[in-house]
Each structure stands twice: as structure tokens, then as C-alpha cells.
Amino acid sequence: MIHSKPSIAIVEDDADQLHSVEEFLLDLGYSVWGACSAEEFYKGFTAQPVDVVILDLGLPGEDGLSVASLLRSKPEVGVIILSARDALSDRLAGMRAGADRYLVKPVNLLELAANIDATASRLAPRAMASGAPTAATTVPAALSGPWVLAIKDWVLSSPQGQGLRLTTHEFMFLQQLMRADGQPVSKRDLGTHLFGARAQNGADRLNLLLTRLRKKASEAFSEPLPVKTLHQIGYAFTATARLAQDSAPRRPSEWG
């Protein structure tokens, strides 16, 4: 079944801008995940392909033009460059690298959404003609088990057994989400639990916490962290998960 809206990946190294665009598109009903670097994007795309990639040029390490060039081998994926570089030479370089559209920051987010829809509307016929599956119809490989949060030593383990040590707030955040068994947990409840009832800027602190946690997870795991942001509502852990009283299994190469 083809989704009514395209799925999207945002590749942007400015965490505030990444979160702002992600929240807006989630509020419009798109399926969205973000990455702060090309390397993080490649890991995420392998596990969760998308229809359209919104791509900044000035990324740390491998730049956006390189990413766009690699995506040319996937005609079922649309590329929209969103960059502060507005020179004609930059625009031409972006289009030659394979971008479908080139937008200059700052961009009106409604205009961005319209460009996403216009780009995606041309992808399905092109993908069907080439025999390539679209991201909307791709079925991810079966995972080997649930995500596990070890209460004793504050380690999150992926279904593949990869582990990530957590800070106090990261552990408390994930613990509350997993206890909700897939149901959303409000930002107010999470903010009170993590920072106290009288804490200021709880929602902003949660946003920053999740942005940093996703970045850490992208470096530790082979698939994106399954935490979904529900605009103006809260967050939900969207994969099978369990809390474990015992310590997480350790791999010497991972723990050092």
C-alpha cells in the first residue's frame, strides 16, 4: 500500500534547524527522521529508506554534494538541497550532482512541504518504470529481537546486540517511554520526571536531549533510534522493547 505522504530524511548539521524542520513535517503527517552527517544518514537509510532526502551542503566530513551524487544511483529517491549557499555556481553544482530541487535558506516551511510533494509525485512513475521498489513499499529486514534497556548499568542494547551507555537523563527518558509500551508520553510529564515540576524550558531541554541521544545512537547502532516525536504531544518509543534488571551483555570492542 502506498502512503499518502512521502517519507523523508533530513540531513542537517544544525541541530536546532534539524529539529525545527522535523517537527513541522511531522505535524503535517509526514514520516520523518533526521541525521547530522553523511555517515549518520547512510546508516539510517540502510535501515529505513525514504522517498525524499532534504540535504544541506555544509556537512561535517563528507559534504552534501557527495551525498547527492551517490543518491543518483537511486532514481526512486528524490533529493532537495536546502542550503544557505545562494550563488549560481552552488546551485548549478547541486543540480549537476543530481538534486531535483535547490532551495535557499531561510525557506518558508510551507514552500518546503510543497516542493517535497511535487518532487515525490514524479518519483513513483520513474521508480516503477525502472523496476525499483519505492521506500513506501520497502519492507525492512526482520530484527533479531527487542530493544533492551538494562536498569542496572544504564545501557541501551539494539536488536543486533549493539550497546550504548546512557547518561542519567537519557536513561530516565528512555525508561519512561518504554514503560508506556508504545503509547506517547507527554512533554510535560517527561519534563517533570527528568527536571522537576518547577524546572524552566522543559520542552526545549527535552528536544536537545533527544537530538543528542539520536546522534549518539547513530554512531553506536546500525539502525535509527525508534523514538518518534509527536508534535505538541510528546514522544513514543515505536519498536518492541523491554526493561531488563540485569546488566547488558558486553562486547569488549564496544565498551573499551
Return the amino acid letter for 156.
L
64/82 Cα distance (integer angstroms): 10
Which contacts of 189-192 are long-range, i.e. CB under 8 A and separated by 24 or more positions?
A: 189/234, 190/234, 190/235
Q: Which residues pair with 32 in a beta bridge?
A: 8
C-alpha distance from residue 205 to each of 104, 176, 184, 201, 202 (Å):
29, 16, 18, 6, 5
171/111 Cα distance (integer angstroms): 38
Domain residue spans of the chain: 7-137, 147-255
CATH number of 147-255: 1.10.10.10
Beta strands in the chain (DSSP E): 7-11, 31-35, 52-55, 78-83, 101-104, 147-150, 155-157, 163-165, 185-186, 227-230, 234-237, 241-244
**Fold designation for 7-137:** Rossmann fold (3.40.50)
pTM of the complete model beyond 0.75 = no
pLDDT by residue for the chain (256 residues), tens digit each? 344 688 999 999 988 889 889 888 988 888 899 999 999 999 888 888 899 999 999 898 888 999 998 888 888 899 999 999 989 998 899 888 889 999 999 889 999 999 999 888 877 544 444 444 444 333 333 335 789 999 988 999 998 889 999 999 999 999 999 999 888 899 999 999 999 988 888 888 998 898 889 888 888 887 788 888 876 678 889 888 999 986 555 443 343 3
Do residues 6 and 122 touch, judged by C-beta distance below 8 A? Answer: no
100/77 Cα distance (integer angstroms): 10
Structure letter (DSSP) for residue 74: -
121/135 Cα distance (integer angstroms): 13
C-alpha distance from residue 117 to each of 30, 83, 226 (Å):
10, 19, 25
